[in-house]
Amino acid sequence: MSVDKSNITITQYFKKRYIMYVVTTILIFCLPFIQINGNQIFLLSFDHQQLHLFGIVFNTQEFYLMPFLLILMFLAIFFLTNLAGRVWCGWACPQTIFRVLYRDFIETKLLRLRKKMQNRQIEPDMSLRANQFKKAIALILWIILSFVAASNFMWYFVPPLDFFAYIQDPLEHKYLLIFLFGIAIFLIADIVFIKENFCIYMCPYSRVQSVLYDNDTIMTVYDYKRGGVVFNPEGIKLWKKPPESSAECIGCEACVRICPTHIDIRKGMQLECINCLECSDACTKVMGKLGKETLISWTSPRAIDMRNKVNYIRFKTIAYVVALGITIIGLLFMSSTKEDMLLNINRNELYTIRDHHRVENSYIFLFQNTKQEPYEFYFEIENNPAIKIRRPSKAFSIKAGEKFKQIVVLYTDENLAQDTQKDTHIPIKIKAYALDSKEPIEIFRESVFIYPPSKGL
């Protein structure tokens, strides 16, 4: 008896998943080398105390952007999880990519240590000498790749050029080596020995996902109405099993054998499911031979129950999009106020009375040139001509990105006292600027000049 397969929709995800793995790997590996105006797209440098964001450099005094970045990251995670479940885990997470690279490519395709990729439940027989030799080769290959991956991770904190210069002088950069070896050792232990147990027991994402899910969240869903299983999608309430004639699941358990986290998707949504959809691909092959559509698909529980399309636009997704938009606007606004130079002002002492009733105030000015070129800097008092600069008497040069501490002495020869018993606090506005810049580089800071009581003069 022939089966009409003309109306059967066959969707296999493995090709799309592998393309996503390749794109993600290339993107993560290449991003540290992509520069805009000589700055990285993203770099959090503890060495230079800088944050590079889309080619713009922010120094430690400008780290007010970090809360916006963290809020943006968490909102994006919440939105993505509510919309598409653990799609990150199965399609872009480095843990999943590394496991596929080690288990499916190195062990299975390259070394034939695993005979069949269709069965993830069976481990290789390590009592055989040939398998022990293959396992050793696989471990050596992964150790090399682990150091490459660890280096790639470090490039987001140490620029690649600095990184390669530092490792040539390891005794002077011990902490760099400690982090490099620590990350590599973790990757070796994680991918070779911990395996998917990291996703099941250690990853905090699996614990928060159930709070973010709703009945419209896209996930790997088994069609229990067609399949005839006794569990509902939540795996709690038991359903009456349909008659054998109407149950389409043939009990081949291909979906169970292929699962990297060793779950039975027929029991409904489980924390261990990473949305890799390998079970769907396995079911597609089996059911396709019978002229039927897969029993496992990437959809929502409500869409399965109601036999309709997934509802993407709902209150939660709209709320997340609005919150993301507000955060992005705030981030763009705050980043647009970035200053081309930085200045911190600290008072050094109270005041000093010189001859002829001259009053001096001392300050410590900490300048930082955040531009990529050196400039000559100076400053002036904007709002009070009676207060003048005694020191420094001339401009000073600051190299690109350099911090410069300057002792500043301001004085006045005029009587500015406003009280006979108390000191007078006079607000002053200081304008600092670059003398040799084609475009205006200037900032304004406020401080106070303290004048003694008139009785003390």
Spatial distance between the Cα atoms of 8 and 183, rounded to a whole number of angstroms: 47
> In this structure, are residues 364 and 346 in contact, taking their beta carbons and an 8 Å threshold?
yes
pLDDT for position 256: 92
pLDDT, position 1: 40
Write the CA distances from 392 to 354, 398, 407, 444, integer angstroms.
18, 14, 7, 18
Residue 62 — φ and ψ, nearest 5°?
-110, 20
- Contact status, residue 10 vs residue 284, Cβ threshold 8 Å: yes
Residue 227's pLDDT is 85
User: Exposed (0-12), middle (13-18) or buried (19+): which is 249, by Cβ within 10 Å?
Assistant: buried
Residue 358: other Cβ atoms inside 10 A: 13
Cα separation, 222 vs 235, in Å, equals 11
> Domains along the chain?
13-63+91-203 (no CATH), 64-90+214-338 (no CATH), 341-451 (2.60.40.10)
Confidence (pLDDT) at 340 = 73
**Token output for 5:** 């397969």
B/e letters for 50-65, b = 16+ CB within 10 Å, e = fewer, are bbbbeebbbbeebeeb
Q: Which two tokens stand for residue 244?
A: 């054998």
Residue 400 has a pLDDT of 83
Q: What pLDDT does 456 receive?
A: 59
What is the reported pLDDT for 61? 65
Per-residue pLDDT of the chain (457 residues; tens, 9 = 90+): 444 444 555 568 989 999 999 999 999 999 999 988 788 888 988 887 778 888 777 776 666 777 888 898 899 989 999 998 888 999 999 999 999 999 999 999 999 998 776 778 788 888 899 999 999 999 999 999 999 999 999 999 999 999 999 999 888 889 999 999 999 999 999 999 999 999 888 888 877 777 888 899 999 999 988 887 654 445 444 444 555 556 788 888 999 999 999 999 988 878 889 999 999 999 999 999 998 999 999 999 999 888 889 999 999 999 999 999 998 888 877 766 667 788 889 988 788 998 888 999 999 999 988 887 899 999 999 989 999 999 999 999 998 878 899 999 999 999 998 888 889 999 999 999 999 888 888 899 999 999 999 875 6
